[in-house]
Structure 1
Amino acid sequence: MRRDLAFRYLRGVGLLVVLIAVGVTALATREQWLPWLQTETPTAASNEPPAPVTEPKVLKLSPQARKNLDLVSKPVTTQDYWRTIQIPGVIVDRPGLSDRGVTSPAVGVVTQVHAFAGDTVEPGQALFTLRLFSEYLQSTQSELFKATRETQLIKEERDRIDGLAKNGTIAGSRLIELDQRIRRQDGLIQAYRQDLLTRGLAPEQIEQITAGKFVSTIEVVAPPAIDATAEERPIQPVGFLEDPGDDRRVYEVQELKVELGQQVQAGQLLSVLSNHRLLYIEGHAFKQEAPQLEQAAQHGWPIEVDFAEDDRLSWPPLQQEFHIRHLSNTIDPASRTFDFFLPLTNQSRTYQQGEQMFVVWRLRPGQRVRLHVPVEQMKNVVVLPAAAVVREGPEAYVFRQNGDLFNRIPVHVLHEDRTHVVLASDGQAAPGFYLAQGSAASLNRVLKAQAASGVRADVHVHADGTVHAAH
C-alpha cells in the first residue's frame, strides 16, 4: 500500500517538473514561435483589397529644366499633309548643258596651252594654239587667195571694157560674160571663207589670207555659252563676269586631254569644259514604286529634296520647286532600279587669285540626296515633329503643357517618318492645346521617375499638413 502511494507521489512530481520545463522553454523561445500563431490568425485588415496602382499622367518641370531640354510648346493646328515615300538619289551632270567637249578643227601640233584644269574661261577665250599640218587647210587658203585675185582681175577687165561696150566697140555680151564670172568667183570665195570659219579661223585671219598672208597657227577658243531659258539658243560672248551672278557665261576647265607638243587629228578631243549651273537630280527607284512616281510626274506634285552635306548657313536658300521631268524606261540589271530626273538650277560664287577668277558651286555632281515623293494627301490632321511623340508598346503619347505641369495624353498615330508624326484630330490633341514639340522621351522618363518617388506632381502639401491638388 505504501509502495503504491510513493509511486503515485513520484509520478506527480515528475509530471510537474516536465510541465515547468516546457513552460520555461516556451517562454524563452516565444519570439520564434509567436509569429507563427499571428500569421495563422487572420485579421480584418488582411481581408481588405490592395490599393489600386494609379498610372502617372502628370509631371512637373522647372523653368530651368525646360531650358535644359530646349523645350518649346506650340498650339495645335490642323492642316493637310502629304504622305511621302523616301527615295535615294544623286546629283549628276545634265547632258548637253553641263559639259562641253572642245575638239581640234584640223591636223596640227599643240604648241601652247592657255587654260589648265581648274581655270575659269569665258566664251571666246583662247584655250590652245595649234601649228597646222593640214594639207587640206593649206589648200583651202591657197584656193581662197587665188579666187580673190582672180575676182580682182575680172573686175579690172570689166571696168576697162565698160566704156568700149557703151560706145559699141565691143559687144555687150562680153560684159554679161564677165559679170557671170564675177558672180561665180564670189560664190567660190564665200564657200572657202565658210570652210575656214568652221575650221576655227577668225574673220581677221581670213582677211589676212585674202591679202596673201597664210595662217600657219590657229587658236582653239571656248565655245559660246548655252542659255537654256531661251530654248537653249547660243548667246554671244560678253565681258568676263560683267554680271557676277550670271554664271551661265563661264566655263571651268574640267580636264585636259592633250599635252604640249602632241600631234592631234581633226575632230580629236582637246579638253572638257564644264558649267554646273544646270544639273539633274537622278533618283533611283524600284519597279513597284513606278506607279507612284508616274502619278507625281503626271500631276506635277512638288518633290522635297534633302541635300547631304549641304552648307545652308553660308548660302542663300534655294528658291526652286522640284518636279519630275521624266522617268527612265530601262532598268539597271545590277541594282534592279530605274532612274527618274528632276532639273536643278545650281548656285555659285567667285573668288579672285591674282588675275585669275575661280567659280565655286554650291552643289556638285556625285553629291547624295534624299527625295520625298508625295503619294497621298491626308486632310485635317495634326502634324508634329517626330521627337514630340513617345511610344510604349502599342501606345503613343504626347505632352500637353499647363503652366509648370505637363499632362501625358494618348494619341492615335496615322503616319510617321524620320522627321514628322501625323496624328488624328480626334479630340485628344484638339486645336488650341499647347503641346511640347520635342523631348517626349525625356519627359516620359522624368514622369516615371517622379511616380517612382511616391510624390505626385499634381498635388502639394500645405504648412498645416493638408494635401491639395495643384492650383
Structure 2
Amino acid sequence: MQKEKLVKSLAGPLLVVAVVAALWAARDRLFTTETMDDAAASSGEASSELEILELGAQARKNLQLVAKAMRPAVYWRTITIPGAVADRPGVSDRGVTSPAVGTVAAIHVYPGDTVRPGERLVTVQLFSEYLQSTQTQLFEASQEIALLQKDIDRLSAVANSGGIAGARLIELQNNVRRQETLIQAAKQELLNRGLSPAQVSQVVDGAFVSAIDVVAPPPRNIQETPQPNGRPTVAQASFIVTSDVNESLAYEVQSLAVELGQTVQAGQLIADLANHQHLYVVGHAFKREAGYLERAAQESRAIEIEFADDSAELWPASEQVFQIRHLSNSIDPESRTFDFFVPLENQSRTYEKGGETFLVWRYRPGQRVRIHVPVEKLENVFVLPSEAVARDGPEAYVYRQNGDLFNQISVNILHEDRRHVVIAGDGSITPGTFIAQNAGASLRRVLKSQSASGEQPGLHVHADGTVHAAH
C-alpha cells in the first residue's frame, strides 16, 4: 500500500520532467519553424506590394501627368561646362575718335541712345593749323587751275597759228596736272579728317570749314569673301541690326568719353559704340576636358547652351546650331581653366519713348550659361526626363500608362544628369509604350499607399498579357 502511494506521488513530477526534457530536445526544430514562418510571412507581405496603381482623371490632372509613346533614340552623353556671353573682339564694339585737334562744341547723343550710320555724335570746333593749311592749299590750287586754264584757252589759238611756241602751251598743261594732283591729295586729306564731300566742295569755293561733325561710321560686313588666290578674307561685322525696316538702327552709344568744351587731340577717343548682334559664348573648361572639346570642334558636333535668366517665351525661337569655333591655347593661372568660343547670333527689338528709339537685346554680355558638350554616343536607348524615374534603393522604376492604370516597370539606367535619364533598350520598355514623363516619385508614393491599404485596383489580365480595368 505504501509502495503504491509512493509510485503515485512520484508520477506527477516524473511526467513534468519528461515533458520538459521533450521540449528541450525539440527546441531547435521549434525555433527554426517559427523563424521560417516569420520569414514566410514577411516574404508574403513584401510580395504583396502592388505593381499596378490606379489613378483617375482628376488625380492625373492634379499631378499634371504627361505620358508619351517611347521610341528608341540615339543619345549623346554630355559634359556640362560653365560659361558666359561675351562681346566678340573687333566686332561687337567700335570706338569713334576725333579726326583733328579742336574743342567739343556740341554733344548730340548720350549713353543708351541709338544712332544710325552717318548720324552726328559730337561737333568739334577746329583750331588745327594743319587742317587750316590743307584747306588753304586746296583753295589756292583750285584758283591756280582756273588761272592756268584761262591762259591755255587764250594761247591755244595763238599757238595753232604759230604765234608762240607749242612748248609754252605744253608747260601750262603740265602745271594744270600738277595742281590737279595737289587738289586730289588735299581733298582726300580733308575727307580723312572728317569733312563731308559737301564741305570739301565749300572749301574749293573759298568757304573754309571751322567746325566738323563727328558721325557714326558706316556699317561693316562679316562675310568671308573668296579671293583670287582661294584664301578667304574676313571682313568686319555688320552693325545693321536686322535686314528689314529696322536696318537704319545700327549702334547703341555705350559710353561717351568727352565733355562739352573739352579740348580733344587728333585720334582721341570720343565715344564707344556697340552692337551686340554678333557675340561669343565663352566656356571655361579644365585641361582634362580639352580632349572632349577638341573632338567636338573637329567633328563639328552640335552643342546645347542653357542661358540663365532667359525669357524664351518673350522671344522668337532660335534656330541657330551652336558649334565650337576655336579653343584657347593658354590657361588662366588663377582659375586653371582655358576658354573655348562658340559664335552666337543675338536677337533684338526696339521701342519708342519720348520720341526716341531704344534697343533691347535678348542675350547680353556677362550673362551666365551652361554649355552641354557631347562626348559619347549611346544608341538604341530610351530618353526620359529625370522626373519620370522613381528611385527605391538600387531599383529604378518608370510607369507605363494604360488608361487609368499605371504599371510599375523596373529599368536599367545607363546615364543620367540633371535633366535626362537614359534607359537601356533591354526589353523592359517596348517601343510605342506610353510612359509617364513626370511625377515618377509621386506615382511611387501612390503605389505604396495603395499597397498598404490592401485594396487591389479593379483590373484583369488578358491572354496577351495586357492589363485592363475590370469591365
Superposition map of 1:156-305 within 5 A: 156-229=150-223, 231=225, 243-246=244-247, 250-305=250-305
2:21 maps to which residue? none
Q: Percent identity?
A: 56
State the Cα distance separating 1:75 from its structure 2 match. Answer: 2.1
The amino acid of 1:344's aligned partner reads L
Tell me, in whole angstroms, the C-alpha distance in 2 between the residues paired with 1:64 and 1:193. Answer: 82
- 2:110 is equivalent to residue 116 of structure 1: yes
2:132 maps to which residue? 138
1:400 maps to which residue? 400
Tell me, in whole angstroms, the C-alpha distance in 1 between the residues paired with 2:289 and 2:111. Answer: 41
Deviations 1:107-153 (A, max 9, x none): 00000001111111100011110000111111111111111111111
Q: For residues 126 and 170 of structure 1, do their structure 2 counterparts lie closer, same or farther at Cα, with a shift above 3 Å needed?
A: same
Q: 3-state SS of the aligned residue for 1:382?
A: strand
Deviations 1:432-467 (A, max 9, x none): 32211111111111122222223334679xxxxxxx
Q: For residues 159 and 92 of structure 1, do their structure 2 counterparts lie closer, same or farther at Cα, with a shift above 3 Å needed?
A: same
* C-alpha contact 1:415 1:422 (8 A) present in aligned 2: yes
Q: For residues 72 and 156 of structure 1, do their structure 2 counterparts lie closer, same or farther at Cα, with a shift above 3 Å needed?
A: same
State the Cα distance separating 1:49 from its structure 2 match. Answer: 2.1
* Unaligned residue ranges in structure 1 (runs of 5+): 1-39, 461-468
2:20 maps to which residue? none
* Unaligned residue ranges in structure 2 (runs of 5+): 1-26, 226-233, 461-467
Q: For residues 262 and 449 of structure 1, do their structure 2 counterparts lie closer, same or farther at Cα, with a shift above 3 Å needed?
A: same
State the Cα distance separating 1:62 from its structure 2 match. Answer: 2.1
Q: For residues 386 and 109 of structure 1, do their structure 2 counterparts lie closer, same or farther at Cα, with a shift above 3 Å needed?
A: same
1:438 maps to which residue? 438
Tell me, in whole angstroms, the C-alpha distance in 2 between the residues paired with 1:416 and 1:137. Answer: 70
- 2:37 is equivalent to residue 49 of structure 1: yes
Tell me, in whole angstroms, the C-alpha distance in 2 between the residues paired with 1:300 and 1:155. Answer: 67
Tell me, in whole angstroms, the C-alpha distance in 1 between the residues paired with 2:37 and 2:453. Answer: 23
State the Cα distance separating 1:409 from its structure 2 match. Answer: 1.6
- 2:62 is equivalent to residue 68 of structure 1: yes
Tell me, in whole angstroms, the C-alpha distance in 1 between the residues paired with 2:36 and 2:301. Answer: 66
- 1:78 aligned to which of 72, 80, 90: 72
Q: For residues 169 and 444 of structure 1, do their structure 2 counterparts lie closer, same or farther at Cα, with a shift above 3 Å needed?
A: same
State the Cα distance separating 1:395 from its structure 2 match. Answer: 1.5
1:33 maps to which residue? none
- 2:379 is equivalent to residue 391 of structure 1: no
2:9 maps to which residue? none
- 2:405 is equivalent to residue 377 of structure 1: no
TM-score (norm 1): 0.84
Deviations 1:20-44 (A, max 9, x none): xxxxxxxxxxxxxxxxxxxx9x89x
Q: 3-state SS of the aligned residue for 1:246?
A: helix
Q: For residues 304 and 242 of structure 1, do their structure 2 counterparts lie closer, same or farther at Cα, with a shift above 3 Å needed?
A: closer
- CA RMSD of superposed structures (Å): 2.4
Tell me, in whole angstroms, the C-alpha distance in 2 between the residues paired with 1:85 and 1:244. Answer: 41
Deviations 1:277-320 (A, max 9, x none): 11111111111111111111111111111111111112110121
Tell me, in whole angstroms, the C-alpha distance in 2 between the residues paired with 1:46 and 1:228. Answer: 85
Tell me, in whole angstroms, the C-alpha distance in 2 between the residues paired with 1:246 and 1:381. Answer: 47
TM-score (norm 2): 0.84
Q: For residues 47 and 260 of structure 1, do their structure 2 counterparts lie closer, same or farther at Cα, with a shift above 3 Å needed?
A: closer
